[in-house]
Amino acid sequence: MQRRAFLAATAGALAAPALRPAPAEAQSASRAETLLLVQEYGPNSMDMQGIGASQPVNGVALNCYDRLLSYKKVPLPDGGGHSFTLHALEPELAESWQEASDGMSVTFKLREAKFHSGRPVRAQDVKWSLDRAVSIGGFATTQMAAGSMEKPEQFVALDDRTFRIDFIRKDKLLMPNLGVTIPYVIDSETAKANSGGDPWAKEWLKNNVAGSGAFKVESWKPGVETIYARNDDWWNASKPKLRRIITRDIPSPSTRRALLERGDADVSALLPPKDFADLAAAGKVKVVGVPVPNGIWYCAMNSATGPFTDVRLRQAVAWAMPYEKIMQAALYGRGVIMSGAEGGPTTAWPQPFPYNTNIEKARALVQQAAPGGITTSVLFDAGQATVAEPIALLVKEALAPLGITVELNKVPGSNFRGELAKKNSPMVINRFAGWLDWPDYYFFWNFHGSNSIFNVASYQNPEMDRLIDTARFTSDAAAYEAAVKGFIGMAQREAPVVPLAQPLHDMAMQKNIGGYQFWPCREPDFRAFTKG
Amino acid sequence: MLRTVLSRLGTALPSLAGVVVITFLLTRVLPGDPALYFAGPVASPEAIAAIRAQLGLDQPLWTQFAGYVAALFRGDLGTSLTTGRPVVEDIAARLPASAELTLLGLFIAVGIAVPLGILAALRQGSWIDHLCRLVTTAGVSLPVFFTGLLAVYVFYYLLGWSPAPLGRLDSFLSEPPARTGFLLIDSLLAGDTEVFRAALGQILLPALTLGIFALAPLARMTRAAMLAALSAEFIRTARANGLGGRTIVFAYAFRNAMLPVLTTLGMVFSFLLGANVLVEKVFAWPGIGSYAVEALIASDFAPVQGFVLTMAILYILLNLAIDLLYGLIDPRMRKVA
Amino acid sequence: MAENPALPAARAPSPLAALLRHARHVVGENPVTAMAFGLFFLLLLCALLGPWIAPHDPLASDTARALAPPSLSNPFGTDHLGRDILSRVIVATRLDLGIAICSVALVFVLGGLAGVAAGFFGGWTDRIVGRIADTIMAFPLFVLAMGIVAALGNTVTNIVIATAIVNFPLYARIARAEAAVRREAGYVQAARLTGNGEWRVLLGTILPNILPIMAVQMSLTMGYAILNAAGLSFIGLGIRPPMPEWGIMVAEGAAYIVSGEWWVALFPGLALMLAVFTFNLLGDGLRDIVDPQRRS
Rounded Cα–Cα distance for residues C159 and A463 (Å): 48
* Cα A488 from chain centre: 23
Radius of gyration of chain A (CA): 25
Q: What is the distance in angstroms between the Cα of A109 and the nearest Cα belonging to chain B?
A: 32
Residue A125: domain span: 34-249+510-531
- pLDDT value of residue C16: 67
> How many folded domains does chain A comprise?
2
- CATH number of the CATH domain containing A466: 3.10.105.10
Q: Note whether A236 and A358 are same-domain residues.
A: no
- pLDDT value of residue B330: 65
Q: Note whether A347 and A417 are same-domain residues.
A: yes
Rounded Cα–Cα distance for residues A313 and A296 (Å): 22
Q: What is the distance in angstroms between the Cα of C193 and the nearest Cα belonging to chain B?
A: 34
- pLDDT value of residue C7: 40
Contact A408 C255 (CB under 8 A): no
- pLDDT value of residue A78: 78
Angle among Cα B1, B4, B5 to the nearest 5 degrees reads 90
Q: If you write DSSP's letter for every residue of A103-148 in order, what string do you get?
A: SSEEEEEEPP-B-TTSPBP-HHHHHHHHHHHHHS-HHHHHHHHTTT
ipTM of the complex, rounded to two decimals: 0.79
Please name the residue ranges forming H helices in chain B. 2-29, 34-38, 45-54, 61-73, 87-122, 127-141, 144-151, 183-189, 193-230, 233-240, 245-247, 254-283, 288-297, 301-329, 331-336
Q: Say if strands A497-509 and A286-291 run parallel, antiparallel, or are unpaired.
A: antiparallel
**Number of Cβ atoms within 10 Å of the Cβ of B73:** 7
Which residues from chain B sit within 8 angstroms of residue C170, using beta carbons? none
In sequence order, the 6+-apart residues with CB closer than 8 A to the CB of C120 are C179, C180, C183, C198, C201, C202, C206
Rounded Cα–Cα distance for residues C100 and C108 (Å): 12
Question: Does B41 lie at the interface with A, CB-CB under 8 angstroms?
Answer: yes
Rounded Cα–Cα distance for residues C1 and B266 (Å): 10
**Number of Cβ atoms within 10 Å of the Cβ of A99:** 12
Residue A78 has what DSSP assignment? G
- pLDDT value of residue A201: 93
**Which of these, A186, A277, A219, A177, lies nearest to A42 by C-alpha position?**
A219
> What residues does A120 pair with on adjacent strands?
A114
Q: Note whether A300 and A419 are same-domain residues.
A: yes
In sequence order, the 6+-apart residues with CB closer than 8 A to the CB of B286 are A221, A223, A224, B94, B97, B167, B168, B280
Question: Does C229 lie at the interface with B, CB-CB under 8 angstroms?
Answer: no
Please state which CATH number belongs to domain B92-286. 1.10.3720.10
Question: Does B294 lie at the interface with A, CB-CB under 8 angstroms?
Answer: yes
Q: Note whether A393 and A431 are same-domain residues.
A: yes
Which of 218-247 (B) contact A at CB < 8 A? Answer: none
Q: What is the distance in angstroms between the Cα of C37 and the nearest Cα belonging to chain A?
A: 27
Condensed to tens digits (0 to 9), the pLDDT of residues A201-253 reads 998 999 999 999 999 999 998 888 899 999 999 999 889 999 999 999 888 78
Q: Where are the domains of chain B?
A: 92-286
Residue A253: closest C-alpha in chain C: C255
Q: E strands within A174-271?
A: 215-221, 225-230, 244-249, 267-269
Tell whether A122 is covered by a domain.
yes
Burial class (CB in 10 A: 0-12, 13-18, 19+), A233: middle
φ/ψ of A284, rounded to 5, equals: -75, -35
| Residues of chain C above pLDDT 70, percent | 90
Q: What is the distance in angstroms between the Cα of C151 and the nearest Cα belonging to chain B?
A: 4
Contact A252 B36 (CB under 8 A): no
Tell whether A2 is covered by a domain.
no
Rounded Cα–Cα distance for residues C118 and C169 (Å): 12
Contact A274 C66 (CB under 8 A): no
Angle among Cα C37, C41, C43 to the nearest 5 degrees reads 115
Q: Note whether A331 and A448 are same-domain residues.
A: yes
- Give me the torsion for CA of B148, B149, B150, B156, rounded to 10°: 100
- Collect the ranges in chain C with pLDDT lower than 70: 1-16, 19, 23, 26-29, 291-296
Residue B12: closest C-alpha in chain C: C134
Rounded Cα–Cα distance for residues C274 and C283 (Å): 14
Rounded Cα–Cα distance for residues A402 and A404 (Å): 5
Q: Note whether A305 and A407 are same-domain residues.
A: yes
Q: Note whether A371 and A438 are same-domain residues.
A: yes
Which residues from chain C sit within 8 angstroms of residue B156, using beta carbons? none
Residues B214, B109 contacting (CB under 8 angstroms): yes
Q: If you write DSSP's letter for every residue of A514-530 in order, what string do you get?
A: E--B--TT----TTT-E
Q: Which of B146, B329, B336 to mutate to test the interface with C (most CBs of C within 10 A)?
A: B146
Rounded Cα–Cα distance for residues A377 and A380 (Å): 10
Please name the residue ranges forming H helices in A384-476. 385-399, 413-422, 439-447, 462-473
Residue from the list B14, B227, B274 with its beta carbon closest to the beta carbon of C140: B274
Helix (H) or strand (E) holding A274: helix A273-282
Cα dist. A419→A382, A412, A460, B9 in Å?
12, 10, 19, 45
Q: If you write DSSP's letter for every residue of C2-40 in order, what string do you get?
A: PPPTTS-S------HHHHHHHHHHHHHH-HHHHHHHHHH
Which residues from chain B sit within 8 angstroms of residue A28, using beta carbons? none
Q: Note whether A519 and A476 are same-domain residues.
A: no
Q: Note whether A328 and A362 are same-domain residues.
A: yes
List b or e across C203-216, with b for residues whose CB sees 16 or more CB atoms inside 10 angstroms: bebbbebbebbbbb
Which of 123-162 (B) contact A at CB < 8 A? Answer: 131, 135, 149, 152-153, 155-157, 160-162
Q: Note whether A515 and A499 are same-domain residues.
A: no
- pLDDT value of residue B332: 57
Which residue type does B212 have? I
- pLDDT value of residue C14: 54
Q: What is the distance in angstroms between the Cα of A411 and the nearest Cα belonging to chain B?
A: 9
Q: What is the distance in angstroms between the Cα of A65 and the nearest Cα belonging to chain B?
A: 20
* Cα C281 from chain centre: 12
- Collect the ranges in chain A with pLDDT lower than 70: 1-29
**Which of these, A133, A148, A272, lies nearest to A205 by C-alpha position?**
A133
pLDDT of chain B, 337 residues: tens digit per residue: 677 778 777 877 888 888 888 888 888 877 777 777 666 666 667 777 877 887 777 888 888 888 888 888 888 888 887 777 889 988 998 888 888 998 899 999 999 988 888 888 888 777 888 888 788 888 878 788 788 878 888 888 788 888 877 778 776 677 777 778 888 888 888 888 888 888 888 898 899 988 888 888 888 888 888 887 777 777 777 777 766 666 677 767 777 777 778 777 877 887 787 677 888 877 878 888 888 888 887 777 788 888 888 888 888 888 788 777 777 766 555 444 3
Rounded Cα–Cα distance for residues A81 and A58 (Å): 20
Q: What is the distance in angstroms between the Cα of B53 and the nearest Cα belonging to chain A?
A: 13
Rounded Cα–Cα distance for residues C32 and C19 (Å): 19
Tell whether A116 is covered by a domain.
yes
Q: Note whether A439 and A523 are same-domain residues.
A: no
Question: Does C134 lie at the interface with B, CB-CB under 8 angstroms?
Answer: yes
In sequence order, the 6+-apart residues with CB closer than 8 A to the CB of B231 are none
Angle among Cα B186, B192, B193 to the nearest 5 degrees reads 105
Residue A394: closest C-alpha in chain C: C61
Q: Say if strands A267-269 and A34-39 run parallel, antiparallel, or are unpaired.
A: parallel
Q: Note whether A63 and A208 are same-domain residues.
A: yes
C neighbours by CB contacts (3+ pairs under 8 Å): A, B
Which residues from chain A sit within 8 angstroms of residue C80, using beta carbons? 274, 329, 390
Domains belonging to chain C, first-starting first, are 96-294 (1.10.3720.10)
- CATH number of the CATH domain containing A109: 3.40.190.10
A neighbours by CB contacts (3+ pairs under 8 Å): B, C
Rounded Cα–Cα distance for residues B196 and B68 (Å): 41
Burial class (CB in 10 A: 0-12, 13-18, 19+), C199: exposed
Angle among Cα C137, C143, C147 to the nearest 5 degrees reads 110
Tell whether A137 is covered by a domain.
yes
ω into B14 cis (within 30 of 0): no
- pLDDT value of residue A199: 93
In sequence order, the 6+-apart residues with CB closer than 8 A to the CB of B259 are B225, B326, B329, B330
Burial class (CB in 10 A: 0-12, 13-18, 19+), B293: buried
Question: Does A278 lie at the interface with C, CB-CB under 8 angstroms?
Answer: yes
Question: Does A36 lie at the interface with C, CB-CB under 8 angstroms?
Answer: no
- pLDDT value of residue C154: 78
Condensed to tens digits (0 to 9), the pLDDT of residues C66-100 reads 888 888 888 898 988 889 999 999 999 999 899 98
- pLDDT value of residue A354: 94
